[in-house]
Amino acid sequence: MANARSHFDLISGYMQRTHDVQAGLLYGRPSLQLEGRSFAAYQPDAMAFHLHGRALKQALALDGARAWDPLNAEGGAPGWVLLPVSQVLRWDRVALEALRCEKEATERRVSYAPEPPAPPAAAAEPPASTPQGLAQRVSAAIASGFRSLTLSDE
């Protein structure tokens, strides 16, 4: 397998030829830009992508993925995901998703915050018991052979 930098260069060359993408720098790192806004950047042995929505959630779920901040190695900027070289075979697809996300961001406001986890599904409440329902269940139990069941007022 080719090294990470050559794979980044391959993705960069393809996107510059087939999409309206320019090569640039993001705080000194090689990056891919759309109208001057970076959406992908190279890190030694990793590639960072600026995503939102479902694409962000899916990228963060990949093995080794983590939030990334171009200015702070310890933190994570909203929407930036760093994928290690172990995910190099996914970089192409995620780069195209990042381009799509950046195009959407130029057309409308988007949120780069990760989607909150879905709330746990509430357990269905059993139907409320009524005297008629109870009487029907008891009658059915007796009819099915539970003859020893008796009702008392005690």
pLDDT confidence of residue 141: 77
- 8 A C-beta contact, residue 62 and residue 72: no
**In 82-103, which positions are buried (b, 16+ CB within 10 angstroms) versus exposed (e)?**
bbbbebbebbeebbbbbbebbe
CATH of the domain at 54: 3.90.1150
Q: Is residue 152 part of a domain?
A: no
Hey, what are 142's tokens? 């007796």
Q: Is 115 inside a domain boundary?
A: no
Give how many domains the chain has, as a whole number. Answer: 1
CA distance 46 to 142: 70
What is the predicted pLDDT for the residue at 39?
93
In this prediction the pTM is 0.70
Residue 65 domain boundaries: 4-107
Any domain includes 139: no
pLDDT profile of the chain (154 residues), mean per 10 = 82 92 92 92 92 90 90 77 92 93 86 70 71 76 68 56
pLDDT at 1: 44
Instruction: Say if 32 falls within a structural domain.
Output: yes
